[in-house]
Amino acid sequence: MKRRRAIVTGITGQDGSYLAEFLLEKGYQVYGMVRRSSSENFERIQHIMGDLELVQADLLDQLSIINIVKKVRPVEIYNLASQSFVPTSFEQPVLTGEFTALGVTRMLEAVKLVDRSIRFYQASTSEMFGMAPHSPQTLTTPLHPRSPYGVAKVYGHWITINYRESYKIYAVSGILFNHESPRRGKEFITRKITDAVARIKLGRQKELRLGNLEAKRDWGFAGDYVRAMWMMLQKPRPEDYIVATGESHSVREFAQIAFRHVGLDWKKYVVVDPSFYRPAEVHTLCGDPSKAKRKLKWNPKVSFRELVSMMVDADLELLSKP
Ligand code: NAP
Ligand code: F7E
């Protein structure tokens, strides 16, 4: 029997690698979209390279996207590629808009031109809520993004809804709150902390310089969140969902627990460095996942404390390898 085909953009990223594993287990033929690079960056998908097909295209290049969709003829497309680091979006706002906002339209145009029956998932984000007027955030909370990244994602969110309403394309937007894992990039706060904790424990680093310790986020495990992406595309009707844990914790709390996990006192190592403050901060986020729980039967399996321990342990193991 012919296997169902899916295209995953951003397959070399954190979520792309977990989603590819998940879809392979479900029996899909997985096509990962990668952009041309002078050196390979396949660390996160190294262990499944033999099971994947990689196709080359770029979010900036419309024709390359149309060509891969024509060639693969997938039943589902997961659009996970973007410039996803908030501080970089302040430094490179135009490029962030090209990737993270217009890139979505280029993907949707390819669906519209090649085959309107393709189901499309857009990776929306809690950063669209930004300065939220209430907590927890729901699908009706007004959007007030606080960075060029958040603004670009609002565009991606609405263009997805617009193609659904205009062309009857099965396009859904998953508004995912922060999700982390041992595969998280080291510039993001959780991995920056767990990598430093492991280095300090092993005597390879002396201090950890951080920005705003009071920022609060609703942190979950990436492996749980990619399951929700797939579930959203299996429903009879396309709808948007919030994926979150419903719990919020501060950066300070994350650091405390991570250091305590290896028997260290965070206060001795963490130094506040204002150079990590952002021009505009998102102070606190907490999502309401009740619709995903009710309609998708989705539930996170990894708790906040389990996530912190998992990431510290993974970094200790990684750094201890000969
Ligand atoms: P990530 O680790 O930063 O991965 C981003 C991916 O996008 C990488 O594979 C990157 O490829 C690719 N990419 C960037 N620019 C591209 C271009 N011009 N053409 C083709 N590919 C390009 O991000 P993530 O954490 O896995 O997040 C996945 C998606 O969910 C992103 O859209 C992110 O904005 C969104 N999101 C993330 C979270 C979260 O907490 N993780 C929450 C909500 C939404 P290279 O390897 O070549 O750079
Ligand atoms: O920051 C504070 C910082 O960079 C979290 C992306 O995946 O999730 C991510 O965006 C908080 C912020 O993630 C440092 O000010 C303090 O308040 O880990 P982060 P983010 O900005 O929430 C959303 C959902 C996405 O969609 C994005 O793609 O931590 N913070 N000190 C710091 N943050 C960093 N990176 N480094 C610090 O030293």
Determine how many CB atoms are found less than 10 A away from the CB of residue 73: 11
Is the Cβ atom of 64 under 6 angstroms away from ligand 1?
Answer: no
Name the 3-class secondary structure at 188. coil
C-alpha 123 to ligand 1 mean position (Å): 9
pLDDT (mean) for 297-321:
97
Q: What digits encode the pLDDT tens for the residues 59-94?
A: 999 999 999 999 999 999 999 999 999 999 999 999
Q: Closest Cα partner for 255 from 308, 204, 200?
A: 308
Rounded Cα gap, residues 5 and 3, in angstroms: 6
pLDDT band per the 50, 70, 90 thresholds, residue 322: confident
Quick check: 161 and 124 in contact, CB under 8 A?
no
Q: How far apart are CA 112 and CA 42, in angstroms?
A: 30
So what's the pLDDT on residue 2?
84
Q: In this structure, how many other beta carbons lie within 10 angstroms of the beta carbon of residue 47?
A: 11
Mean pLDDT in the chain? 98
Q: For 21-45, what is the mean pLDDT?
A: 97
Q: What is the pLDDT of residue 1?
A: 72
Percent of residues, the chain, with pLDDT higher than 90: 99
The structural domains of the chain, ordered by start, are: 5-179+220-243 (3.40.50.720), 186-218+248-284+302-320 (3.90.25.10)
3-state secondary structure of 93: helix
Q: How far apart are the CA of 207 and the centre of ligand 1, in A?
A: 29
- Tens digits of per-residue pLDDT, 122-155? 999 999 999 999 999 999 999 999 999 999 999 9
How do strand 53-56 and strand 119-125 relate by DSSP bridges? unpaired
Indicate which residue's Cα is closest to atom 38 of ligand 2: 210
* Mean pLDDT (whole number) for 103-127: 98
Alpha helical stretches, state H, 175-289 = 189-201, 222-232, 251-261
Q: What is the pTM of this model?
A: 0.98
Q: How far apart are the CA of 189 and the centre of ligand 2, in A?
A: 6
Q: Which residues line ligand 2 (CB under 6 A)?
A: 84, 86, 125-127, 177-178, 187-189, 192, 210-212, 215, 217, 251, 276, 278, 281-282
Give 156-204 pLDDT, tens digit per residue: 999 999 999 999 999 999 999 999 999 999 999 999 999 999 999 999 9
